[in-house]
């Protein structure tokens, strides 16, 4: 596979699922100590990677879960953020100033801050109440944070007896590192073809629904816009027919991510309409990937992880065929702003 080290990738994702036991122990301790709620409050694209886990709690648990943009939380506050609230802050670098501000603000309110960091010895790693460290970089971080935050939500639901088959689910998740390598291998030929089709397009729509929506949003903002400088419009499938459909015309490019949860019909509605206008629809369906040993309910949970693994292959192909390295920036962490 192009510019890919499967052994390193497996090592990183094994590190993520390897945090299952310490995450569970920490969460149980905080709940026993009277934690009233949990906040997912990151900054930038990495914050999106915690949203599927937050949404799982919001729909399947009665434990209050809140999602906040870090910078807004610091400026506007939230009356529900109180003493013993759990605040989860992910960061690859561990140095993002908005994330550090969230940590300081939450701690000033008496909350317990859990940081998930991809770099050791950083402010977010050292100043957290609890830190979980797993070295990762841009090409491995999405799956890393999607899995870690999922494990947090599952631990909460298990402690509250709100989920059946917890041990089975965890056992299946432990097999994912190799299965995600398999996903990449399965998608590599199509990623190469898609990159050729997309190399000269300067506008894309990226659409999904349910937990996979956050991966669509992330890929549009953090990869196509930030790392490839391509104008991209992420749009939730339920919002597509309330405005964005008027932008579709012959030649419009759209990437549609079809997950395996109960929100799939929202995506299928978009899938039926768009080809009546443009031949630029590209559907990526998580059902098309072989995941040996993974039950249907777990497949629904991990669709965003599967998409993250597959889309990284598209990113690798795009940077090569467009001669635009994913690490190239004009402004981000280059100038003061």
Position 20 scores a pLDDT of 98
| Predicted confidence (pLDDT) per residue in 86-139, tens digit | 999 999 999 999 999 999 999 999 999 999 999 999 999 999 999 999 999 999
Q: Same structural domain for residues 163 and 212?
A: no
pLDDT-derived band of residue 337, with 50, 70 and 90 as boundaries?
Answer: confident
The residue assigned the tokens 């969460």 is 27
Given a contact cutoff of 8 angstroms between Cβ atoms, the answer to whether 255 and 207 are in contact is yes
User: In which band, very low, low, confident or very high, does the pLDDT at 35 lie, cut at 50, 70 and 90?
Assistant: very high
**Please, what is the average pLDDT of the chain?**
97
Quote the tokens at residue 54.
Answer: 């937050």
Read off the pLDDT band of 334 (50, 70, 90). confident
Residues 138 and 190 in one domain: no
Mean pLDDT of 268-290: 98
Question: Residue 154: its pLDDT value, please?
Answer: 98
Q: What sign does the dihedral 58-63-66-67 (CA atoms) show?
A: negative
Question: Tell me, what's the pLDDT at 221?
Answer: 97
Predicted confidence at residue 308, as pLDDT, reads 98
Domain-located, residue 187: yes
d(CA 155, CA 56): 12
Domain assignment present for 335: no
29 pLDDT higher than 90: yes
The total number of structural domains that make up the chain: 2
Under DSSP, is residue 203 helix (H, G, I), strand (E, B) or coil? strand
Percent of the chain with pLDDT strictly greater than 70:
100
- The neighbour count for residue 328, using CB atoms within 10 Å, is 13
Give the Cα separation of 178 and 285 in Å (integer): 20
For residue 336, name the pLDDT band (cuts at 50, 70, 90).
Answer: confident
Verify that 231 and 250 share a domain, yes or no.
yes
Residue-wise pLDDT for 135-185, tens only, equals: 999 999 999 999 999 999 999 999 999 999 999 999 999 999 999 999 999
Residue 330 falls within a domain, yes or no?
A: no
Q: Which pLDDT does position 28 carry in this prediction? A: 98
Count of CB atoms within 10 A of residue 196's CB? 12
Tell me whether residue 326 is in a domain. Answer: no
Q: Which residues contact 102 (CB under 8 A, 6 or more apart)?
A: 41, 42, 43, 70, 71, 73, 74, 87, 89, 113
Q: Between the CA of residue 311 and those of 180, 258, 275, 294, 319, what are the distances in Å?
A: 11, 13, 22, 20, 12
Q: What is the mean pLDDT of residues 64-79?
A: 96
Q: Report the candidate in 57, 85, 68 with the shortest Cα–Cα distance to residue 150.
A: 57
Distance CA 204, CA 274 (A): 13
> Which of 173, 205, 226 is the last residue in one of the domains?
173
- Residue 145 sits in the same domain as residue 281: no
Last residue of a domain, one of 152, 173, 194: 173
Query: Is the residue at 298 inside a domain?
Result: yes
Whether residues 180 and 162 share a domain: the answer is no
The C-alpha atoms of residue 102 and residue 122 are separated, in whole angstroms, by 15
Q: Are residues 278 and 308 in the same domain?
A: yes
Task: Please say if the pLDDT value at position 332 is more than 90.
Answer: no
Is 327 a member of any domain?
A: no
DSSP state letter for 111: P
Give domain status of residue 334, yes or no.
no
**Sheet of strand 254-258, all strands in order from the earlier edge strand to the far edge:** 231-236, 203-208, 254-258, 281-285
Q: Which domain holds residue 50?
A: 6-173
Express as a percent the part of the chain with pLDDT over 90.
Answer: 98
For residue 93, the model assigns a pLDDT of: 95
Beta strands in the chain (DSSP E): 38-40, 65-67, 86-91, 112-117, 130-133, 203-208, 231-236, 254-258, 281-285
- Identify the band that residue 299 occupies on the pLDDT scale cut at 50, 70 and 90: very high
Q: Is the pLDDT of residue 333 over 90?
A: no
Domain-embedded: residue 98: yes
pLDDT digits (tens, 9 = 90+) for 209-260: 999 999 999 999 999 999 999 999 999 999 999 999 999 999 999 999 999 9
CATH number of the domain that 125 lies in? 3.40.50.10490
């Amino acid at each position: 596979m192009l510019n890919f080290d499967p052994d390193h990738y497996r090592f990183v994702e094994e590190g993520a699922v390897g945090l299952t036991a310490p995450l569970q122990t920490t969460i149980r301790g905080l709940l026993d100590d009277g934690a009233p709620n949990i906040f997912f409050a990151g900054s930038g694209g990495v914050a999106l990677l915690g949203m599927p886990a937050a949404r799982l709690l919001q729909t399947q648990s009665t434990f209050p879960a809140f999602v906040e943009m870090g910078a807004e939380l610091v400026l506007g506050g939230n009356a529900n953020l109180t003493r013993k609230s759990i605040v989860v802050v992910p960061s690859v670098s561990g140095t993002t100033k908005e994330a550090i501000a969230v940590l300081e603000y939450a701690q000033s309110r008496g909350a317990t801050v859990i940081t998930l960091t991809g770099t050791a010895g950083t402010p977010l790693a050292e100043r957290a109440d609890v830190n979980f460290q797993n070295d990762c970089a841009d090409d491995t971080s999405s799956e890393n944070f999607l899995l870690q935050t999922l494990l947090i939500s599952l631990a909460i639901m298990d402690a509250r007896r709100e989920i059946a088959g917890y041990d089975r689910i965890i056992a299946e998740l432990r097999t994912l590192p190799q299965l995600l390598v398999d996903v990449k291998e399965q998608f590599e030929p199509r990623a190469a073809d898609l990159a050729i089709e997309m190399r000269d397009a300067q506008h894309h729509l990226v659409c999904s629904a349910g937990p996979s929506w956050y991966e669509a949003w992330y890929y549009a903002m953090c990869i196509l816009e930030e790392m490839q400088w391509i104008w991209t419009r992420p749009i939730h499938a339920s919002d597509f027919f309330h405005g964005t459909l008027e932008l579709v015309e012959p030649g419009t490019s759209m990437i549609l991510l079809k997950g395996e949860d109960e929100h799939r019909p929202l995506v299928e509605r978009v899938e039926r309409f768009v080809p009546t206008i443009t031949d630029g629809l590209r559907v990526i369906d998580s059902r098309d990937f072989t995941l040996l040993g993974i039950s249907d309910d777990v497949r629904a949970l991990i669709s965003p992880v599967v998409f993250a693994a597959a889309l990284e292959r598209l990113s690798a192909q795009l940077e090569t065929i467009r001669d635009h390295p994913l690490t190239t920036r004009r402004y981000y962490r280059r100038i003061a702003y």
